[in-house]
Each structure stands twice: as structure tokens, then as C-alpha cells.
Amino acid sequence: MSCFSTMPTIPVWYSMDDKILIKAHLKGDKSAFEVLVKKHQASVGRLSYSIMKSDQGVSDIVQEVFLSVFRGLSKFRGDAAFKTWLYKITVHETMRYLKKRKRWNSLIDKDRSITDASEVSLFVFDHKTSPEHLVLDNQKKSLIHDAMKKLSDNHRIVLHLHYQEDLSVQEISEILEIPVGSVKSRLHYARIQLKELLSPFFESSSSHQGEQHVL
């Protein structure tokens, strides 16, 4: 029987502190690491997907990420949040996968329609701090998804980390190993580009619905 079947309900284990789980794991509690995986595997998958622009290979990357975490957790000093360290590993593993795929030239990055919302990296923007304030119906989900894929890797990744994963500029700086100023610059220009990509839709919507301030 899988040990997951005896684990606490989702609201309980999801609220468990990462530091406590790490300590329990290092003391030999095998279920503690499984809880860490369950807590973070979805966000690791989303981040990997946002870099890949496809779900092809994401499940393999997620496995590699947590294998790396398992091997390195005893050396994790806790200077940064576990999530920051985890996302840094995710970025590195995803980029390594992309380089391998390019080198082997064995996989083709195909644009395809994804209907499972759990596989799509969606972005909910705060209308007070960003240019887009969207009601996430199916049409707008598709528009955001398509627009995000048109952004450069650098701009797409910082948007995902900041808005989807709710990370600070400082945390993103640590994950991507770039200066804080570079993160701020990328966020600024990413917002501008995304607004430009989405503006035709909003202009069309406002012409049918009257004066609306959606940007």
C-alpha cells in the first residue's frame, strides 16, 4: 500500500512548514519528503512548463528536480527559503533538459492546444500593480497562454515567478542569479510587451461592451 494513502488530508499537510518537514526527513522520517513533494510538485511543474512552453518532458523534469533535492537536502543550509532553493534547481534542471534536447535534436517543440487547465501556466495579475486585470474565462485563459508564449524566455520566466508563484524581486534575483535591477527591468518590459500583445483583444471587447478600464 502506498504511504500516501495514510497521509493527512490536503489542508493539513499543505500547511506544514518546510523547515519542519526537512528536519523530520533528515532524522529519518520517510513520509516527510513525500509531503514536501506533494506540496511543491505542482509549482515545480508550472515553472518548468513556463520555461519549456510545452508540457512535453515536464514530468521527467519534475522527477529530476526532486531527485536532486533528495540528494542535496542534507547540504541545504537554510540561508534562503526552501522554495527559493527548489525553484533554482527547477530552472537549472529545465535548462539542462532543453540543452540536451537541442543537442540530441530528438524532440520537436510543437505548439498545441492544451485543454487541461492544470497544465497551463496561468497568470492572475493584481490590477493595482499590473496592466492587465482579467476575468479568467476560457477565452481569456487562451489569450494569456498564447501571449505568454510570444514573450522572450527572460521576460516570461520573471512574470511567472512574480505573479504565479508570488515571489519577491529579491527571491527571483536569487533563483535566476541575476541582479535585482535586472529583475525589475525584465518585469517592467515584460508587462509592457504583454499589454501590447493583449491590447487588441481589450480594444475589441470595449467596442462591444462600452467604456471599460481593463488595462
Mean pLDDT in consecutive groups of 10 residues from the start of the chain, 215 residues: 45 75 91 92 93 87 96 85 94 90 53 36 41 51 79 90 91 94 94 87 57 41
Backbone angles phi, psi at 207, to 5 degrees: -70, -25
The DSSP 8-state label assigned to residue 9 in this structure reads P
The whole-number pLDDT of residue 64 equals: 96
Q: Give, to the nearest 10 degrees, the angle between helix 30-52 and helix 82-104.
A: 50
* Grid coordinates of 52: 519549456
Is CATH 2.30.140.10 correct for 1-112? Answer: no
Euclidean distance between CA atoms 195 and 143, whole angstroms: 12
Residues of the chain with CATH 1.10.10.10: 122-215
Neighbours of 60 (CB within 10 A): 12
The whole-number pLDDT of residue 30 equals: 85
The whole-number pLDDT of residue 171 equals: 94
CB 68 within 8 A of CB 93: yes
CB 79 within 8 A of CB 108: no
The whole-number pLDDT of residue 99 equals: 85
Closest among 74, 6, 14, 5 to 41, alpha carbons compared: 14
Euclidean distance between CA atoms 18 and 24, whole angstroms: 10
CATH of the structural domain 122-215, one choice from 2.40.10.340, 3.40.1280.10, 3.40.1160.10, 1.10.10.10 = 1.10.10.10
Measured between its terminal Cα atoms, the distance across the chain in Å is: 52
Residues of the chain with CATH 1.10.1740.10: 1-112
